[in-house]
Structure 1
Amino acid sequence: MIEIDQISKVYDGKAAVDAVSMTVETGTITVIVGTSGSGKTTLLRMINRLEEPTSGEVRINGVVTTSMPGHILRRRIGYAIQGHGLFPHHTVGRNIGAVPQLLGWSKEKTRARVDELLDLFSMDPAQFRDRYPAELSGGQQQRVGVARALASRPDLLLMDEPFGALDPIIRARAQTDLRRIQRTLGSTIMLVTHDMEEAIHLGDRVAVMDGGQLVQHGTPAEIIQNPATAFVADMVGGVDRPLRLLSLIAVADIVEDGPATGTPIAAEASLRDALSACLWSGRDALPVTRGDAIIGRVTLPAIRAQAQATA
């Protein structure tokens, strides 16, 4: 558990972060979202003490972060940034193994961890371990950056606009990868973004920053349905709110009995995906599958009714 308790950072008499408090539960993703200058990156950097707080404290599993030297703390916390920050003259394997090496892991243990993470990120170790960053695509470089941050099995992974430099298609895949891997490893992640769509897609909880203050902290559905301020409402977007809510609801939640033809949709897909499929194909109903079996259908009227009910 990460406890942020009345933490502030003041520069030249002005608060960049102003008495922010929040709790991050173990094994969850919390996304900090806000416009440029809202204090979100400064808040993140105070957690691993790349920035020292002016006041307040951070506790990780009950331990106050200032109770240990900063470089020791940072070895316990993974950190991934936009553009990945890989060492260009080190191989992929050496990049991922950098922190375990600092921690004194054996070569065998480090190599095993490197290969485990490459497998987890769907990158064949035999094919990628000895490559250099310049030989990788942007999406592959970003995967290696996240793998490096996870290499020492940190208590917490901090991510600052990690997907901002990627094109939209690769970015969507990277987000899906991160969610899958977080669920597999049970990692605790705090991620900064300026993109509310990304925050809603990734976050178990979303923290909205404005002018250095935490103006709302809740589940994606709470943020969308009950924005606490006009700023939050503007970030969520009035006309897009029903669509954003549909992206949080699984097809399985409204599956019904009955016939439907054409390409099916997975039960785990969102109602937003189902709506797009209906409108694209001109169908009023889609077969719904779980695994290889058809379990029912989802209909366009049911999707629209759900959107109206949550608007």
Structure 2
Amino acid sequence: MIEIDRITKTYGDIRAVDSVSMTVETGTITVIVGTSGSGKTTLLRMINRLEEPTSGEVRINGDSTLSVKPHILRRRIGYAIQGHGLFPHHTVGRNIGAVPQLLGWTRDKIAARVDELLALFSMDPAQFRDRYPAELSGGQQQRVGVARALASRPDLLLMDEPFGALDPIIRTRAQEDLRRIQQRLGSTIMLVTHDMEEAIRLGDRVAVMDGGKLVQHGTPAEVIAAPATDFVADMVGDVERPLRLLSLIPAAELVEEGSAEGEALSSDASLRDALSACLWTGRAAVPVSKDGVPMGRVTLDAIRARAGQHA
């Protein structure tokens, strides 16, 4: 568990981060979202003491980060940034194994961890471990950057706009990969973004910052349905709110008996996916299946009724 306790950072008369407190549960993703200058990156950098707090403290599993030398602390905390930050003259394997090597892992243990992570990121170890960053695509470089941050099994993974440099199609895939791997490894992640859509898609909890203050901290559904301030409402977007909520609800929740024409949606697809399928094809309902077995259908009327509850 990560406890952020009234942490503050001032630069002269400017409060970049103003008495922020929050708790991050183990094995969850918390996304910190805000506009440029809101203090979100400064907050993230104070957690691993790349920036020293003016006051307040951070505790990881009950231990204050101020009780540990910064370079030792950073070996316990993974850090992934926009543009990956790989060492260009080191192979993929050496990049991923950098922190375990500093921690004194054996060569065999490092090699096994490198291969494990490459396989987890759908990159064949035999094909990629001896390549150099320049030989990889942008998406592959970003995956290696995240793998490197996870290599030592850190208590916490910090990510600062990790997907900001990727094109939209690759970015969506990278987000899906991160969610899948986080669930597989049970990692605790704090991620900074300026993109509310990304925050809603990835976060178990969303922390919205404005002017150095934490103005709302809750589940994606809570932030969408009940924005705490006008600033949060603007970030969510009043018109988009019902659609964003539909993206959080699995189609299985509205399945009813009956059949419908066309290709079936998976039961874990969202109601927003079902709405898109109906509108794109002009159908009044779409079939839903689970593991290839028909479950029933979801109707356009039912989707609209659910969206109307949150309009």
TM-score bracket for the superposition, by shorter chain length: over 0.9
> 1:308 aligned to 2:300?
no
| 1:310 match: secondary structure | coil
Q: Give the AA of the match of 1:120.
A: L
The amino acid across from 1:296 in the alignment is G
Q: Deviations over 1:2-21 (max 9, x none)?
A: 00000000001210000000
* Percentage of pairs with the same residue: 81
**TM-score, structure 1 as length reference:** 0.99
The equivalent residue for 2:46 is 46
Distance in 1, matches of 2:106 and 2:221, equals 45
Question: Is 2:279 the partner of 1:279?
Answer: yes
Q: Name 2:135's counterpart in structure 1.
A: 135
SS at structure 2 position matched to 1:190? strand
Counterparts of residues 199-278 of structure 1 (less than 5 Å): 199-278=199-278
Cα deviations across residues 221-256 of structure 1 (Å, max 9, x unaligned)?
110111111000000001000000001100011111
**Which contiguous aligned blocks of 4+ residues in structure 1 show a shift greater than 6 angstroms?**
none
Deviations 1:112-155 (A, max 9, x none): 00000001000000111111111111111100000000000000
Letter of the structure 1 residue corresponding to residue 102 of structure 2: L
- Deviations 1:52-85, CA, capped at 9 Å, x for gaps: 0000000000000000100000000000000000
Tell me the equivalent position of 1:159: 159
CA distance in 1 between counterparts of 2:279 and 2:131 reads 44
RMSD between aligned residues = 0.6
TM-score, reference length from structure 2: 0.99
Which structure 2 residues correspond to residues 165-176 of structure 1 after superposition, within 5 A? 165-176=165-176
1:67 paired to 2:67:
yes
Given residue 141 of structure 1, which amino acid in structure 2 is its aligned partner? Q
1:310 offset after TM fit, Å? 2.3
Give 3-state SS (helix, strand or coil) of 2:309's partner: helix
Q: What are the superposed Cα offsets for residues 88-127 of structure 1, whole Å, 9 maximum, x if unpaired?
A: 1111101000000000001100000000000100000011
Name the structure 1 match of 2:87. 87
1:288 maps to what in 2? 288
Partner residue in 2 for 1:15: 15
Letter of the 2:39 counterpart:
G
How far apart in 2 are the matches of 1:31 and 1:288?
A: 31
Unpaired runs of 5+ residues, structure 1, are none
CA distance in 2, matches of 1:282, 1:74: 54
Q: Take 2:268 and 2:190, find their aligned partners in 1: how far apart are those partners?
A: 25
Shift of 1:180: 0.4
- Deviation track 1:151-182 (CA, whole Å, cap 9, x = no partner) reads 00000000000000000000000000000000
Return the alpha-carbon distance in structure 1 between the equivalents of residues 103 and 281 of structure 2. Answer: 55
Rounded to whole Å, the distance in 2 between the matches of 1:56 and 1:48 is 14
Corresponding position of 2:103: 103
Q: In the comparison of the two structures, how many residue pairs are matched?
A: 311
Q: Give 1:307 shift.
A: 0.3
The whole-number CA distance in structure 1 between the counterparts of 2:297 and 2:71 is 54
Runs of 5+ consecutive residues of structure 2 not aligned to the other structure: none
Tell me how far apart the structure 1 counterparts of residues 235 and 212 of structure 2 sit (CA, whole Å).
16
Partner amino acid, structure 1, of 2:125:
P
Aligned-partner Cα distance in 1 for 2:310–2:250 = 14
Partner residue in 1 for 2:145: 145
2: CA distance between counterparts of 1:90 and 1:253?
49
150-159 vs 290-299, which deviates more?
A: 290-299
What secondary structure, in the 3-state scheme, does the structure 2 residue paired with 1:104 have? coil
Alpha-carbon distance in 2 for matches of 1:23, 1:137:
36
